[in-house]
Amino acid sequence: MREYRIVCFTGRGHHIDKLYSTMSYLQERGFRVDYVCANNAVNNHSFEEPLVRKGVPYESVYDYLDDAVMDRIERHARILRERCDAHILERRNLFDYVSEFWARYSFQEMVEAFELFGEVLDRKKPDLTVVLHEANFWGKMMCYQGKARGIKTLSFQEGPYRDYKDNPHFSPFNLLSEYSDRVYLWGRQVYEIFAKVVPDPSRIRVVGAPHLDPYFQGVNEHSSEAIAARRRALGVREGQKVLLFAVPHTTMATGDLSGIIRAVIEFFRRRTDLFLLLRFHPFEGEAFKAGFVPLLSGMPNAVLSEEPKAVDVIQLIDGCLLQESTTGMECLAFSKPLIELNFDPSLDILRGYHKQGLADLVTSPGELDLIPAFLERPETAERRKKREELLEYNLDRLDGRCNERIHADIQELLRE
């Protein structure tokens, strides 16, 4: 049987986290997967680190650099530079809004990545390219270069579409995905947005959330014994309820986020019958986090959660404190109760889970004492129905077979 070859580009941690289960599934079925990464933003967010942590072999696109490629990069970068420079004295141009360092750096890195993706594909000659989302600095270029070479191009989606935040033309969910032969989506919710914008919706497949497959297949590391052992390793005592606090990103929080975090930590300092997993948004700044992490010291019932994937933590918890978060969707998939924190009655959490009837609400530091009661309360039939509807709409089928569907579809695509 012929071995199909995939070049899979991964960037920040969520790329490999979301793609890994699919790539592993395909590898087990005879596909060869070559992971490639690039530099990123003066390497402040190294693309190599998530791959090293995951333990997968990878190459940097810069390993494909040679003098001929370097000359091409220089030439092409010069063409774009001259075009920019011809307009740079016009009022209110790009360079008035973005620091010139960042603009110059980004143009250069764009040309480097574009040329090097082409070089990687020319040398490896894969059958397929894979990216997490096409609407991404690297994803767009990889899909374009693949398409230009007649290679089948696949892109995936992650997270639900948020109509108050995402834009149907300029968001990671859309931007036409014009260079993808297949766009694999989690559920109908995102499909409806894609179908309005994508010129040829026949390329779209609703498959579910593939990264959740292993969890719904009950594989060993997600067994109840393994979960109990991990709770003990964290320091969770018998009978303690574990709560994840999925702290929203500072730019997305409703109300005084610092005040909320401090109140939650103080609450857990008093309530030693509960255990706190404090988890910041993966893109949160270190300086902001550093303001709170020291507050956990000396608390036997609180730890900072630094696991790369939220879903690994969700396995361990009895409930989740949050505002608006994709983590909430994953909690609902595992039937974990949600408790929304909004201490400012004048502000509205736009797509809050409470508003949708899927979470209890805490509106002041004093009300945090209601949490144990919320955790004890059984899920009502009405909430269960809403939860199941929401999950079906957003995550399609939670049957652990997403990768099976993707595999079947890829085989069909390769036969075309």
Partner 1 sequence: MKTALIVLNRLEEHYMAMLASVLGEHRDLRHRFVTTTPGLDNLLRQRNLAAHYVGSGWEEGMYDRFDGMDRLSAGPMLDGMVLPGARLPVSHTIFWDRLSQWFNFRRSDHSLDLAEAFEFDLLVAPLDIEDGFSQSMMREAKRRGVPSVGIKAGFLRTKENIDAHWCFDRVLVDSPGDMRFLVEHGKAAPGSVTVIPDQGRAGLVRQLAGNGPALAAEARRRLGIAPDRRIHAVIFCKRHAWECRRLLRGLAEARRSGVPAVRGAELVVQYEGPQEAVDFPLLFEKEIRELRPVLAEPAGNAYHLAMAAEAVIFFRFHPILEDVDKAGRRAILYDPHRFNRSHLMGLAGTGIELRTEGDFDWSALGGPG
Binding site for partner 1 (CB under 8 A): 11, 39, 41-44, 46, 48-49, 52-53, 60, 62-63, 65-67, 69-70, 75-77, 79-81, 83-85, 87-108, 110-111, 114, 135-141, 144, 148, 165, 167, 169-170, 172, 175, 250-251
Q: Cβ atoms within 10 A of the Cβ of 248, count?
A: 20
Work out how close the CB of 85 gets to partner 1 at its nearest, in angstroms, rounded to a whole number: 6
Q: How far apart are CA 146 and CA 140, in angstroms?
A: 10
Tokens linked to 340:
């929304």
Amino acid, single-letter form, for residue 352 = G
Matching residue, tokens 């300092």: 269
Q: Cβ atoms within 10 A of the Cβ of 309, count?
A: 16
Helices (H), 125-187: 137-148
Helices (H), 243-293: 257-270, 286-290
Nearer CB in complex with partner 1: 87/377: 87
SS (H, E, C) 348-374: CCCCCCCCCCCEEEECCHHHHHHHHHH
Nearer CB in complex with partner 1: 111/193: 111
3-state DSSP call for residue 338?
Answer: strand
Work out how close the CB of 410 gets to partner 1 at its nearest, in angstroms, rounded to a whole number: 25
Taken as a whole, the chain contains a residue count of 416
Nearer CB in complex with partner 1: 81/124: 81
Q: How far apart are CA 22 and CA 206, in angstroms?
A: 15
Nearer CB in complex with partner 1: 102/223: 102
Which one, of 247, 387, 400, 253, lies nearest residue 331 by Cα? 387
Work out how close the CB of 183 gets to partner 1 at its nearest, in angstroms, rounded to a whole number: 16
3-state DSSP call for residue 315?
Answer: coil
Work out how close the CB of 103 gets to partner 1 at its nearest, in angstroms, rounded to a whole number: 7
Nearer CB in complex with partner 1: 144/215: 144
Nearer CB in complex with partner 1: 180/403: 180
DSSP letters for 3-17: PPEEEEE--SHHHHH
Q: How far apart are CA 49 and CA 331, in angstroms?
A: 27
CA atoms within 13 A on the CB side of 79: 6
Work out how close the CB of 249 gets to partner 1 at its nearest, in angstroms, rounded to a whole number: 10
Work out how close the CB of 323 gets to partner 1 at its nearest, in angstroms, rounded to a whole number: 15
Work out how close the CB of 326 gets to partner 1 at its nearest, in angstroms, rounded to a whole number: 16
Nearer CB in complex with partner 1: 196/237: 196
Amino acid, single-letter form, for residue 16 = I
Nearer CB in complex with partner 1: 107/292: 107
Q: In what order do the strands lie in the sheet with 241-246?
A: 302-304, 274-279, 241-246, 319-322, 338-341, 359-362
Work out how close the CB of 193 gets to partner 1 at its nearest, in angstroms, rounded to a whole number: 15
Work out how close the CB of 130 gets to partner 1 at its nearest, in angstroms, rounded to a whole number: 17
Q: How far apart are CA 364 and CA 283, in angstroms?
A: 27
Nearer CB in complex with partner 1: 41/370: 41
